[in-house]
Amino acid sequence: MQVIRVIITILAGSLVSFACIEPFTPDIAEYQDLMVINGSITDQAGYHNVDVSCTSSFNDPVPRPERNCNVRAYDDKGNIFQYDEVSPGIYRCWIDKQYLIPYTRYRVEVITSDGILYQSDWDVMLPCADIEKVYYEVSEEAPSNPLLSPFPGLQFFINTTEMPDRVSNYRWELRETWEYHSTYGQGDYYDGEIHYVESDNYADSLVYCWRSGPVKEIFTMSTRSFASNKITRGFLNFVSNQTDRLSVKYSLLVKQYSLSDSAFEYWSRMQRLIQESGGLYETQPIRITGNIRNPNDPDETVLGFFWASAEKKTRIFYQRGFEFPVVEPPCQRYYLTEDALMEYLQQFDEESYPIFLINTTMTPEGPWDAADQTCFDCTKRGGTLIKPDFWE
């Protein structure tokens, strides 16, 4: 489904013309009601997922998971792996290590609730070179607005060891985690009336937060044209100083996958589609079909890809230094008068209490002022108070 949304976004965003009077609306009917099947098997023992959904229309872009499907994976040794639906449209199967052997081929089969059969092509699990190191360098990235100066930040790279002869294609999945802090501790507050708290008793229970999420980019590389069968200074993500990601400590988990030629072609086309932002008259939209087929209806368009791969992973940390300033969310006080402050506080209901305040004189008499509550409670910026187990 993400593929279709990217395509539709490119189409919609490209329809700006300063020379034409009549707007042009593309025919996007062909991008509706298509089956989307995505999944993978790696050499890591554990749960392996297959997602089954249907594309949504341009006018109603909501998730449309396909429920009650019969999902199975097969290997070329005759083993069958039955998947269970663990949430709408998401199917999962535990596979032991003994069945996850390099150079084994795998395929997936999905039978929908109304009896329609979908099958993937076979994909071979290739061995994976070791990750020699992941590292970063201070760099700059040009912003989308040409009137702005480049943003400083960290550019991450990867080096691999020499790869097996039959392996030349790689993809990386990245997951970032960062620590950030709220600006103020929890002191004076309002819960229908203002309460004074001595500064020595200010709490910091909502000051320290951690936030995680996938890096929403695709990273692929092939060594087919390289002099040696290894990767040096492979580009990964760039993290600018324009968010709170680098404000305290940042961690990047890198998962490396070896890809067959067909899987590499699919993921590299996906990468190009996401990176390119040309208009309709610069580059034609790409309808990326994968390796899933309806054997009883060869003309049906099916999206998604099922692939197999060995996996390597590593994690790197960055501790904030003095290489560049970090632009954090502004936490300026509102400079409200007493009447304006009370009017401001009346907008909150009891479920929002307590509303933390700034005591401008640090005395029981105040006066008090307000600031955005994200400046007091770090969880309101999307993070959690629970430190990750891997955090150094």
- Phi/psi-derived region of residue 78, left when phi > 0, alpha when psi is between -120 and 50, beta in every other case: left
Indicate the DSSP class of residue 65. Answer: B
φ and ψ at residue 366, rounded to 5 degrees = 75, -150
pLDDT in tens, 189-248: 999 999 999 988 999 999 999 999 999 999 999 998 888 889 999 999 999 999 999 999
The pLDDT of residue 90 is above 90: yes
320 compared with 167, residue with greater pLDDT = 320
Mean predicted lDDT score pLDDT of the chain:
88
pLDDT tier for residue 278 given thresholds of 50, 70 and 90:
very low
φ and ψ at residue 200, rounded to 5 degrees = -65, -15
CA distances (Å), origin 277, targets 12, 108, 220, 284: 11, 33, 19, 11
Sequential DSSP letters for 158-186: EEE-PPPTT--EEEEEEEEEEEEE-SS-B
The pLDDT of residue 50 is above 80: yes
Ranges 48-52, 81-85, 104-108, 271-275: which has the least confidence:
271-275
Task: State the pTM of this model.
Answer: 0.84
Residues 98, 96: Cα–Cα separation, whole Å? 6
pLDDT of residue 8: 41
Residues 345, 349: Cα–Cα separation, whole Å? 9
